[in-house]
Each structure stands twice: as structure tokens, then as C-alpha cells.
Amino acid sequence: MTTPALSAQLITAENGVARGSGTISAGLALDLGEGWKTYWRTPGEVGFPPVIDWTGSRNVADVEFQWPAPERFTAFGIENFGYHDGVIFPLRIALEQPGQPARLSASVTLLTCSDVCVPQDFTLTLDLPRGASIDTESAARIADYAGRVPVEAEPGGVRSATAHVDADATALTVTLRRSSPFQTPDVFPELGEGTSLGAPDIRLGENGRLLWARLPILSAHDALTAVPSLTATDTGGWAATVTPEMLATAPPPPYSEARAAVPISSMGWIALTAFLGGLILNVMPCVLPVLSIKLSSAMKLEGAGRATVRWGFLASAAGVMVFMWGLAAVLFALRQAGVTVGWGLQFQNPVFLALMIGILAVFAANLAGAFEIALPAGLQTRLARAGRAGGHVGDFLTGAFAALLATPCSAPFLGTAIAFALAGRSTDIALVFTFLGLGLAAPYFLVAGRPGLVRHLPRPGRWMIALRVVLGLLLAVTAAWLVWVLQGVAGTTTMLAVVGMTAGLVLLLSLPWLRGAIRAGLALPILGIMLFGAAYLADTSAPRAHSAEVTDWIAFDRAEIARRVSRGEVVFVDVTADWCLTCKANKALVLDRDPVVLTLAADAIILMQADWTRPDPAISRYLESFNRYGIPFNAVYGPAAPDGIVLPELLTPDAVMAALDDAAGDERAIAAQP
């Protein structure tokens, strides 16, 4: 069988079946075209291994298929294991009737990949009459590849082997100790069907006799194999397959971790990038819900003295900075504990969402005039009284609350700064979040420096009452949006429970005959019950209900990207979430409008959506592979861009169309299609 990608044949060491012989030494010989590859028994994240059906054979009792040690190669930006140029799979064939003629019939199914992947289905046959002659050339070829089949631990000189899979099944750590030093080793673990691994970080210790490797687990669709298999290779054709001892804790690396100091010039650029990201965040769609808070801050100071204005806005700026420093500390602590961290991930937490819904509902009812409270000590009341008399506590909480609601979405420059921070040292996190806070607080600092800007507000009058109601409605709309997000994160039951408790909380605060202390004493238990209920009732196992879309999307599958691209298709990936308002703006203003929506409807374009409303380790790892820790995130893959073209956070029709054309390559110009 011969094609441009592959030439295949059955070969045997014997030209015939010798008298009394019960076995035959054979091989499936594959000669691959230039640039073409095929796969090992564990192919990696994409592909499938060769499968052979011997049903049409005669006088064949059993066939033992042997696998020469594989090599690592990258296809479409994904690690795969297999062979290039050529390979012979040694076959040990047991005959039903020793010494009698035999017919070998192999129906072969395998996958060959180059710039595209082409499945191969063919049948090879070979008749062996009685005879005792030897095909020396074929025997030598089969023996060569039989020598490349990995041996067991003892013949390979392996003294010990260990493995550890972390609790979240995100990383595999393995060790091998060998009697002779390793030179340039590679490792190929097997953790069960459906599990794929990234490129290994391999280190040597104990004068080269210890191999330590850590591999990211990219996907684990099925339950991980209790005891994995580990194949290792090295220079000189050494290869061994062992069963490692599973450890409860990861074996330590044979080195001490230390980070290289970042040059001062680079730190300066990162600080500037973080500042610009925070500054731009002030005008991103995700900060629109805090518009009423900022307007309320300005309204309360109209007609006040310059010192009052300055200190009020400085207090708001301080609230922004304290929140950012607190967020930096929490993210650092979570990262040290091994928890996946990112920008805006608190909006995946039902308890946090319930708290925000309660706060916004109380704040909205207060602005609408449902009740007046004279600064009790509770957090709810302080937030409800933000912007009123009582010093600058309200100003401070206003700034912190505004910063809190500004975190669901990413912005230009912000992704770069956050990636640097979360991948760096504690000082890097502190630097980035400090300058991010300075950028976000820049409007407050501006007014604090120029208090006279407040004089440009209209004179007090009846319009302020109407404005209070409008601002309250804006916060009510924000609370309603968070209710919708909560339903997607935790389910309908949790959402209804939180809405009911929030309504009861607002009603309780609105009762005119309750004194402040009694009111607070009753409100706080309701709030506590609401938060406990949000955690207890949250159902993250139920499938999410998706609303109708202008365009049809398939669910995110990282391996499917490579499969689609290998068939010559273009894949548009959209990582989104219900709580990401910038994502919604991108969809409404760009993806669901002409000319983009018509182009995305083409048959050769696959739309893949990763819904990050709920925590999803696979999506988190996918974002981290691009050094991203927040959304929106969009990338386009194609034959000319197998590693993906990353789009800016704020999409434009020109940027999307250009990326689609670049990914498609010279075969066609998508944007030029009618």
C-alpha cells in the first residue's frame, strides 16, 4: 500500500513456515513521507494508535504487537508521541497448526499527520508456504526495531521508579533511578485512556543517575489509572517501561528553586502597564455598575469646602488601594496553597455573589428613599450610608466597593500585568496591584488634586431626588444581573433562596417603627443565613442552560481544536462567563453583528465556547498556557496558525476578520468570501 503520506507492507524474517515451527517473526513496516508522522499506543492529546484486525488470516492463533520506543513531537501546539520517517512494529505470530502454511491478513487503521491529518485504512496480505529459508534483510530490519522496544526495569538497570498525581489532578511528578547516568532522557507516562499530558520539565540529580520530571495534566476525561505506566528513553537507544510506586506526596526536585531578579527597567514597564490597565478599567463595560457610586460621591460634596472635597476623594482613593492590596494578599496566599487564582474568579463563588446581591439591594433601596439609617456599625449599613455624613468612612467604603465591582473583566494592558504578577514573586504581585490600584483610583486623585472640579456640578435642587432614584435603579439593575449570574453559577434553587432572603432583608430595613440597633440585630442574622444558604444549596453539578445565540457554538475541548485544524478548518475560541460584562459587550457589538456574524457562520469555521461562569480547571489551564488569568479571551486557530492567534480584550471587526484570514492561510481568504 502506497500513498503520498505512507507506504506500508508486511514483512517476515522467514520466507516460509519451517517443519514443526509454531511461530513466525514478522513486522508491520511503515515508511512515512517527508514531514508525516504516526502515533504510539498512547498518542498524546490528539490522534489514535494503529489498530489491526487479523480476522482474515489463516492458521494464525495469536499476534503479539510490540511498540518501539516513541519520540516526542508537536502538532498544532500540542505534545504528541509517535514516529516519523519510518517504523517497524515487531509481530510475534503464533500458529494454530505448527509447520503448516499460513496466510497473514492485516486490516490496518491508523492516523498520519503533517500540516493536516489523514486517516489511513488498508489491508495487507502475505502468504507463507512451507519452507525453511530466511529473508536476511527483513530479519535484520525486524531485529533492529525489536531492539528499540522498551525493556522492563531490571534489564534496563532501573533501580527505582515513583510517581505522584496531585489532589486536583493537574500535575504528575515522576522519578527514575538508574545504575548508569542519564544523558538526554525523555519520559512518556501513561495515565489511562482520555488523559493527556503537556511537555515535561526534566531535571537530573545524583550525578545524572536520578531523573525527576513534572508534567502538567492537560485533560483527564476518564478516571486516572490507579498505577500508571512509565516509559523512559535516552541516548544510545536505551528505553525501559516500568510500573512506578505511587507516592502520597510529590518527590522533591533535585534542585532548589530560585527566581532570577527582574531588571529595574522591566519592572518599570510592568508598573506602567499595570497603571494603564487600571486607568483603562475605569471606562470598561464591567465598571458601569459602579457609575452610580462615583456620581453619588461627587454629589454629596457639591458646595463643600476644598479641604472637605480633597479629603473625601482621597479617602475613596484609599479605599481602592486598600482593596487592591487586600486582593493581592489573598491571591498570593491562595497561590501558595496551590489553588488556581485569576482575575475576577470571586464571581464564580456563590457566597460572594449572595453577599454582593444583598449589599447592592440594600444600597439601591437606601438611594431610592426606602429607609434612612444613621451609621450603625454593620457593614451593610455603612455601605448603605456611603456618601452621607459621618466622616470619611463612607468615602473609603465607596472606593473599596467600586474597586470590588470593577474586577469581573479584563482590559487592555491588564492581562499582561496580571500574568506577570501571578507568575512572579510576592514583590511582583505587590508592585502590579499597587500600580493597578493607582490607575483605578486616578479619577479620585484627580479630583482630590483639583477640588474645584466639583463646582461644575449643577446646583442642588429637586433634580437630586430624581437622580437618587435613578442611581438606585442602576444599582438594582446591577443586583438583578448578579442574580442571573448566581443562577448560572449555583442553580435556580440557590438563586431563589438568595432573592427571597434579600427581599426579606430590604423589607426589614424598611420598617419605620424599628430602631437602628434592633434593625441591625435582626438584619445581620438574615444576612448570615443567606450566605450559609448560598453555600449549602449551591448545585454546580447540574448542566448549565444556555440561552439562544445568534451563532452556534460547540463546547470547549482543547484536543478538539487540533483535530479540527488538522482537517483544514478554522477554530474561533471564545472564553466567556455570565459575570464578564466586557465579554457580553464583545459579543453584542462585534461577534453578533455584520460582517463578523456572517463570516463566523461559514461551514469551514468552528465556533468553540469555553464557559468559565463556574470554576473549570481545564479552562484555567488553557488560559495559563497563554499567560492569561482573566477574561475576555479569544483566539483563532487554523492551518496557517496551529498555535493560535490571540485577539485583544476589546474586539473590533477588523481584528477578528484579519485573524480569521491569517489563520486560514493562503488556501482561502475568509473575509473576501461573500
Higher pLDDT, 260 or 364: 364
How confident is the model over 536-579, as pLDDT tens digits?
666 655 555 555 455 578 989 887 887 788 778 899 999 988 87
Listed range (174-183, 236-245, 527-536, 664-673) with the worst mean pLDDT: 664-673
Segment 437-454 shows an average pLDDT of 79
The pLDDT of residue 442 is: 85
Most confident of 160-164, 296-300, 498-502: 160-164
CB 242 within 8 A of CB 153: yes
SS3 13: coil
The pLDDT of residue 238 is: 94
Q: How confident is the model at residue 239 (pLDDT cuts 50, 70, 90)?
A: very high
Listed range (42-46, 231-235, 606-610, 666-670) with the worst mean pLDDT: 666-670
Higher pLDDT, 26 or 369: 26
The pLDDT of residue 28 is: 95
Higher pLDDT, 116 or 183: 183
> Closest Cα partner for 480 from 196, 289, 642?
289
Higher pLDDT, 2 or 137: 137
Higher pLDDT, 669 or 144: 144
Grid coordinates of 521: 440585630
Distance between CA 62 and CA 73 in Å, rounded?
A: 32
The pLDDT of residue 669 is: 47
Q: Residue 44 pLDDT > 50, yes or no?
A: yes
3-state helix, strand, coil in the chain (%, to 5): 40, 25, 35
Q: Residue 410 pLDDT > 50, yes or no?
A: yes
- Determine whether 633 is exposed, middle or buried from the number of CB atoms within 10 Å of its CB (0-12, 13-18, 19+): buried
The pLDDT of residue 12 is: 94
Grid coordinates of 355: 453577599
Q: Residue 97 pLDDT > 90, yes or no?
A: yes
Burial profile 493-518: b = 16 or more Cβ within 10 angstroms, e = fewer: ebbebbbebbeebbebbeeeebebee
The pLDDT of residue 388 is: 46
Q: Residue 373 pLDDT > 60, yes or no?
A: no
Distance between CA 601 and CA 417 in Å, rounded?
A: 34
SS3 647: coil
Q: How confident is the model at residue 371 (pLDDT cuts 50, 70, 90)?
A: low
Kindly compute the dihedral angle of the four CA atoms of residues 23, 25, 28, 29, in this order, to the nearest 10 degrees: -160
Q: Residue 60 pLDDT > 90, yes or no?
A: yes
Q: Listing from the earlier edge strand, what are the strands of the sheet with 6-12?
A: 6-12, 23-32, 86-94, 62-65
The pLDDT of residue 390 is: 44
The pLDDT of residue 143 is: 94
34: CB partners within 8 A, 6+ apart? none
Handedness of CA 580, 584, 589, 595 (dihedral sign): positive
Segment 399-421 shows an average pLDDT of 62
Q: Position of cell 454582593? A: 356
Average pLDDT value for the chain: 79
Segment 416-439 shows an average pLDDT of 72
Say what percent of the chain tops pLDDT 90.
Answer: 28
Most confident of 38-52, 305-319, 450-464: 38-52
Q: How confident is the model at residue 126 (pLDDT cuts 50, 70, 90)?
A: very high
